[in-house]
A and B are shown apart, each in its own frame.
Chain A
Amino acid sequence: MLVEIQNLRIQFRTATGVSEAVRNVSLTLGQEKLGIVGESGSGKSLTARSILRLLPSNAISTADSLTFDGIDVLRADERTLRRIRGKRAGLILQDPKFSLNPVMTAGAQIAEAWHVHRGGSRKAAEQAAIELLAQVQIRDPQRVARAYPHELSGGMGQRVMIAMMLAPDPELLIADEPTSALDATVQAEILRLIEDLVSRRGMGLILISHDLPLVSHFCDRVMVMYAGRVVEELAAAALTRARHPYTRGLLECLPALSHRQTRLPVMQRDPSWLEV
């Protein structure tokens, strides 16, 4: 198993007491594509980021076990973590505008990621950057390598981000809402690209999103989170047979182009969902 989490809890100390952001979440991940779906504040990002121990400094996380390829992440020192973060597990965030360095060209950033994790000459790193840009299906990699982030569109920026994450040849890719800032056409292209690269390289993928039908197209398995808990876990192909009212609610409250509804069903939240 690549990732194994048993009973993860993440808490935040606030002025009025302790707030529980993630409660008793367990998951195992191998060479597969897992989607984590839920609303803002459901704990989906915290759960995924805890694998890299990238949590806000005021977060308190505990777990019976939290391992990445057998390494105890909770007790690992910073040196060990640095060999996981970016190198063996890459993280793609929502908006490339904020995750790319605005004063470095795209090519230089990818070359830097290559050089830091794999060493070798500057020249070899630059060559590798161009090859990676070609791998993320950029038609003119030479030109894009010379471009600064502000000269790139959102979709192009996200491709550069993916190329940078692939540089050290990681085993796991965590994509946290990678396409929420993009429009529908580009969104589909980027998700297809991620799915394709992950499958071909035999990597594990955690795809975090609030769009349940969308995620089901690009994952094998979907985990649905509500208020810090996993309420349902099912095969992506079995989504239409989801049982939990929250999962059903997430599916039904979307307006559909294929059929007309006069009013959208509104989620009726049941306090019993918190007792799972």
Chain B
Amino acid sequence: MIEVDALSVCFGRTEAVKSVSFRVARGESFGLVGESGSGKSTVLRAVSGLNPHWTGRMSIGGELLAPRRSKAFHQRVQMVFQDPYGSLHPRQTVDRLLSEPLLVHHMDNVERRIMRALNEVALPASVRFRYPHQLSGGQRQRVAIARALMPEPHVLLLDEPTSALDVSVQAEVLNLLADLQQARGLTYVLVSHNLAVVAHVCSRIGVMQSGELVELLSADDLRAGRTHHPHTASLRELSIELEEPETARDH
């Protein structure tokens, strides 16, 4: 479904992404993990068309991607961002936010589609005429996901979709993403610095460090510690150490 070959992105003289290659099958979830500045979000922004300055070869669904994307591309590929405060227009109601992608893509049955989308992300119909500031963080992220789903995309690019949310809300949103994938056969690319979140959602994971993809492995291998690169091993060790509550003081 998604093929990325030797993708490089430069900002001035800094190489933010250095010849990264990976493939994602239809209906699969692929995760990119790494620390801040490792280039994981830059990869996602190049795939989504937000940054046209890249070199290499990328294709989605067999169609080769040019720096400038067509309208049809944006119907098939949608993106969800980390901060729902920043990604929803503050002066538009949920109704307007959800109907805009439909107008852009000349889609019919606006009424029915909005009600279906709200239902699908488990929001009550009463939020339809509210503004983003009247919603909680979790509700706002649900609206952002509903909006991304409006053009009926095949691919969803998720950039840290739960790191601005409370842990209880994170669980609800992660379950929602799993349900949507099953119902619609979506392909996900998820970027996060949280290994547990990525391993929960994705079956295959790419580990990035200073712009390079240093390891590709399955979520099961990551859980079991079957890692090859020392960076993957150190990220895993830290994540496991901190996720277990303290039981006995070791100092």
Decide whether A and B assemble into one complex. yes
Cross-chain contact A267 with B171 (CB below 8 angstroms): yes
| Residue from A254, A258, A259 within 8 A of B171 (CB atoms) | A254
- Known pairs A185-B235, A210-B167; A237 contacts B193 (CB<8 A): no
Interface bin, chain B: 35 or more
- Known pairs A40-B137, A237-B248, A250-B168; A213 contacts B242 (CB<8 A): yes
Cross-chain contact A240 with B245 (CB below 8 angstroms): yes
Cross-chain contact A257 with B175 (CB below 8 angstroms): no
**Interface status of A236 (Cβ within 8 A of chain B):** yes
Chain A residue with minimal CB distance to B246? A216
Interface of A is mostly: loop
A134 to B196, CA, bound (A): 34
Cross-chain contact B246 with A184 (CB below 8 angstroms): no
Hey, which chain B residues are within 8 Å of A212, CB to CB? 167, 245
Cross-chain contact A236 with B246 (CB below 8 angstroms): yes
Cross-chain contact B193 with A184 (CB below 8 angstroms): yes
**Interface status of A264 (Cβ within 8 A of chain B):** yes
**Interface status of B217 (Cβ within 8 A of chain A):** no
1/0 per residue, CB under 8 A from B, across A26-51: the answer is: 00000000000001100000000000
**Interface status of A15 (Cβ within 8 A of chain B):** no
Cross-chain contact A258 with B175 (CB below 8 angstroms): no
| Residue from B36, B37, B196, B249 within 8 A of A255 (CB atoms) | B196
Cross-chain contact A214 with B242 (CB below 8 angstroms): yes
A266 to B171, CA, bound (A): 6
| Residue from A211, A237, A249 within 8 A of B246 (CB atoms) | A237
- Known pairs A250-B167, A253-B170, A257-B196; A185 contacts B242 (CB<8 A): no
- Known pairs A154-B36, A184-B195; A257 contacts B168 (CB<8 A): no
> CB within 8 Å of A: which of B160-188?
166-172, 174-175, 178
